A and B are shown apart, each in its own frame.
Chain A
Amino acid sequence: MLRSFFLIFILAVITVVAIAGFRGTHTTKPPIEIIPDMDHQPRFDPQHESAFFSDGRAARKPVDGTVPLGYTLPHAYYSTEANNNKFRQKPGAFSMAPDYYNSGKIGDVYGDGIPVEVTPEFMARGKERFTINCAVCHGATGSGNGIVTQYGLVGVANFQDNRLRTMPDGQIFNTITHGKNTMGAYGPQITVEDRWAIIAYIRALQRSQNATLNDVPQDQRAQLDQPQVTK
């Protein structure tokens, strides 16, 4: 009796293991939910789908004329309060307001100058964001030779070109926000402030590749003649 029990038992164990497998096996089947209580509540998480709307999106596109958060109505811009603060009116992270800070334009022309105080932290932020968002195409020094150019992306602009050196800051801002020809728009991903940080960093890159002795502080010039010690 015990012998036949163990025989059946071992067969049963083998069957279970054969069907259920081991932990960590890769499978395309969705996870089994052993007690699925309240795991799926009738609400929509970000980026989820909904069968109710014809385009299948749970998140709705704002209706035309919606005023986004952080956006001040155009006429409010000319009110006295806004004028006291020349460039900056309560910035929304992704505001499309028509003032210089949010659009790079003054009226219909591109403005020049960074409308934010440029501090070392601001430059560091610009460097970080540039490396994340731009360097894959434009290259770490902005020479238009990022890694993707080796895989068939052509026509990437070179920031060291004279045309881009002399391009107003506002026009670069506009390129980041809306894209340009074959370059996509980065406005939906990069906040307004980060766009200015990136521009400040691009300006630093341009100077770094085109520096003259005059750019080196007086007290550090002597070092340039010293033989460089490489680690």
Chain B
Amino acid sequence: MANLFPKWTNWLPLKILVILFVLGNAVTAGVWYYFTPKYTRVGYEPIQPVPFPHDIHVSQLGMDCRYCHSFVEVAAHSNVPNTQTCMNCHSQVQKDNPKLQAVRESWKSELPVSWVQIHKTPDYVYFNHSAHVNRGVSCFSCHDQVNHMAVVYHAKPHSMSWCLDCHRAPENNLRPREQVTNLDWKPSDENAQTFTAKYGKPPGEEQKDFSGEVKLTQLEIGNTLKHNWNVQPPDINCFACHR
């Protein structure tokens, strides 16, 4: 009788299993690595009509975010400044810089500069800047160090799990309100005495003495503010963000 299955076929099922196993893992790894805002969004840096340098204006000139993003504390939407805001200075400063051509054209034509939007939450999500900024969540937590960026790029994933990571543990990101637009702030910059005098001592550390050269940690500051302001970000209530 002829040999229907040659000898090499003995190993065939095993080989197929190995191949399926490897392929399955590879596809899973690929989806895990690529099908996420951490890959699709982070690093997005569109070509803007004017290569507006935040590092020059904020770090070198010491401008506050709110000079330009003037309604970030009172509105859901953080506005991109109008042309007049730029022309306050650039009608005289760098008057002939070719990089500012689009701003000058817009000033003449009265049509806005078409800035390209970088951060965009899907339309089915409700997001509100003022709710965060007034509760001591810094621009830094969501946009990273814009003050050192020559051109703004998408630095954080802005996925749902990213929102929830903070909503479940806001103490890692809270700071005194005056420091919200100071993106270089560090917890150790905070004077322990004035801080505890204003907001009280961190919960659970009422006995500790903060009068000396004590440095506060982010958790101490965050927990104090969270307790003091009764911060309760929505974390299980879907309706808070999907309204």
Contacts and interface: CB of A to CB of B under 8 A. Distances in A.
Interface of A: 1-2, 5-6, 9, 13, 16, 20, 23-34, 38-41, 43, 45-47, 49, 55-57, 128, 131-133, 136-137, 147-148, 151-154, 182-185, 188-190
Interface stretch (B91-99, B130-138, B203-211): B91-99
Given A9-B26, A56-B111, A27 B43 contact: yes
B13 interface: no
A152 B96 CA distance: 12
Interface in B53-109: 61-64, 66-67, 70, 77, 79-80, 82, 84-85, 87-89, 91-94
B19 A23 contact: no
Given A26-B153, A148-B93, A185-B84, A136 B44 contact: no
B18 interface: yes
B212 interface: no
Contact of B84 (A57, A128, A147, A184): A184
Main secondary structure of the interface of B (DSSP, over half): loop
Contact of B40 (A1, A34, A154): A34
B158 to A, nearest CB: 10
A153 B93 contact: yes
Interface residues of B, number: 50
Contact of B124 (A9, A26, A39, A133): A39
Nearest to A39: B122
Contacts of A190: 70
24 contacts: A9-B23, A16-B30, A20-B34, A23-B39, A25-B43, A26-B43, A28-B47, A30-B44, A38-B124, A43-B123, A45-B77, A47-B77, A49-B114, A131-B64, A132-B66, A133-B67, A136-B63, A151-B61, A152-B94, A153-B89, A153-B92, A154-B92, A182-B91, A190-B70
Interface in B178-203: 178
B41 interface: yes
Contacts of B37: 31
Given A45-B77, A55-B111, A148-B61, A30 B92 contact: no
Interface of B: 15, 18-19, 22-23, 26, 30, 33-35, 37-47, 61-64, 66-67, 70, 77, 79-80, 82, 84-85, 87-89, 91-94, 111-112, 114, 122-124, 153-154, 178
A81 B41 CA distance: 56
Nearest to B125: A39
B46 A30 contact: yes
B67 A136 contact: yes
Nearest to B70: A189
Given A23-B42, A184-B84, 17 more contacts: A2-B18, A2-B19, A5-B19, A23-B33, A28-B47, A31-B40, A40-B122, A47-B79, A55-B111, A137-B88, A148-B61, A151-B61, A151-B93, A151-B94, A152-B94, A154-B92, A182-B92
